[in-house]
Amino acid sequence: MATDPSTPRMLHVDAIQTAPPGKVTAPGQARRISTAAPLGPEVLQSRFQAVWYYTKAGEESPLAIAAWIKESLCAALPGHPVLSGRLRRDDGWEVKFNDSGVRLVQATAETTMSEFLASKDRNGMEAHLAYWDDVDVQSPNFSALFYIQVTQFQGDGYAIGISCSLLLADPLFLTRFLNSWAQTHAQMRLSKSPMFHLSYFQRPDRSRHLKSVELESSPVHSPSSTTTMLFEADREAITRSYGQLAVACLREATRRLNVEAAPGFCLLISDHGGELTVEPCANPSEGSSAEALDVVWWDQLGVEEWTLVQGTKPVHVSCRIASSGDGRLVVVMIPPGVEGDPKVVVSVTLPDN
């Protein structure tokens, strides 16, 4: 049933839980962040944000799906300990691998999925479907870096949204984790009455909602309005440094998006076989690229086929890199192994005009 357009449509956060790894994380593991400058908000609050929209499959409710997600996520996380980690600042920055886990958010929206997808301001409202709390600069070790939100629409639709800090994982690494998690989920024998079902934790004397916001409102932690382009380069054909490759991709994205060139940008070089490099870079006014760059799309990374409920494919997928500040961010994503992975993926995020 269509909602009254004069009535504000609300999104209600019903529960926030933590999904820890199902096995104890071995001590002493960390991912070092190499940076010569303080990490500003354009880096600390940058994240990969994606939302998958699904129609309801069978008799399972989105609340039951959220509960199954927690069970299978706990089983999948031990193989990727970085995703349960937290930022730590001592002499330098690092992501400390521990058992802090992933935040799981359950929400309901006062609109149908078809109405939401047809909204003119859907891009602006989508941040409400992928929960995020800004990283605390003073005490970063208390801030979650990975959120998964299950939102139930009115009718038979639901959405699964993720927000993952780029300091934790780049989109290429995270996509591979999602596919691995989906395999784990499919192999598990999940009970018809999940032990983490939201209704088991609700009390009749308490409000059903932790908080409520208008869907048309800007989120408290609203990112800048940006556009992201993806490029792919053959690792063996790269003739110069990754920094020069980033400049070449930035120039190509600036030309294609018709965005004003800027004197500098923030560069993240993400090698999940080693450390993460974060550095401010100058954008030379002249020069050309010797690299052969191919434009790629999110679906080519395997994002759009991701599903946790067998037989249910997403009806729509939305992906972006969200950032603060001026929004000029380049991420060089290096696969951990050379064999069978000859491509380097580069994302360029620029502010919208």
User: Within 13 Å of residue 339, how many CA atoms lie on the same side as its CB?
Assistant: 0
Residue 138 pLDDT exceeds 90: no
Judge whether 54 lies within some domain. Answer: yes
Tokens (6 digits) for 330:
């380049």
Give the integer Cα–Cα distance in Å for 84 and 86.
7
Same domain, 127 and 262: no
Report the number of distinct structural domains present in the chain.
2
Residue 339 pLDDT exceeds 60: no
Give the integer Cα–Cα distance in Å for 192 and 37.
51
- Cβ neighbours around 240 below 10 Å, total: 12
Residue 197 pLDDT exceeds 60: no
Judge whether 182 lies within some domain. Answer: yes
Judge whether 4 lies within some domain. Answer: no
Judge whether 58 lies within some domain. Answer: yes
Judge whether 112 lies within some domain. Answer: yes
Same domain, 315 and 340: no
The pLDDT confidence band at residue 151, using thresholds 50, 70 and 90, is very high
Residue 194 pLDDT exceeds 60: no
Same domain, 304 and 340: no
Same domain, 21 and 39: yes
Judge whether 59 lies within some domain. Answer: yes
Same domain, 279 and 164: no
Interacting residues of 21 by C-beta distance below 8 A, sequence separation 6+: 74, 77, 78, 81, 84, 99, 101
- Convert the pLDDT of each residue in 2-46 to its tens digit: 555 667 889 999 889 899 999 999 988 899 999 988 888 778 999
Same domain, 118 and 194: yes
Q: Which CATH number covers residue 314?
A: 3.30.559.10
| % of the chain beyond a pLDDT of 90 | 41
The pLDDT confidence band at residue 328, using thresholds 50, 70 and 90, is confident
Return the top range by mean pLDDT from 73-77, 153-157, 215-219. 73-77
Same domain, 169 and 240: no
Residue 324 pLDDT exceeds 90: no
Give the integer Cα–Cα distance in Å for 120 and 115.
10
* pLDDT for position 153: 93
Distance (Å) of CA 114 to CA 16, 40, 109, 119, 157: 26, 38, 12, 9, 8
* pLDDT for position 66: 83
Tokens (6 digits) for 51:
């939302």
* pLDDT for position 223: 61
The pLDDT confidence band at residue 353, using thresholds 50, 70 and 90, is low
Same domain, 151 and 54: yes
Same domain, 164 and 271: no
Same domain, 95 and 123: yes
Same domain, 47 and 65: yes
- Convert the pLDDT of each residue in 96-112 to its tens digit: 999 999 999 999 999 99
Interacting residues of 326 by C-beta distance below 8 A, sequence separation 6+: 42, 224, 262, 351
The pLDDT confidence band at residue 237, using thresholds 50, 70 and 90, is low
In whole numbers, what is the pLDDT of the chain averaged over residues? 84
Residue numbers of the domain that contains 242: 227-297+336-351
Same domain, 215 and 115: yes
Judge whether 329 lies within some domain. Answer: no
Tokens (6 digits) for 15:
């529960």
Interacting residues of 336 by C-beta distance below 8 A, sequence separation 6+: 271, 272, 273
Residue 282 pLDDT exceeds 70: yes
Higher pLDDT residue, 62 or 86? 86
| % of the chain beyond a pLDDT of 70 | 84
Judge whether 3 lies within some domain. Answer: no
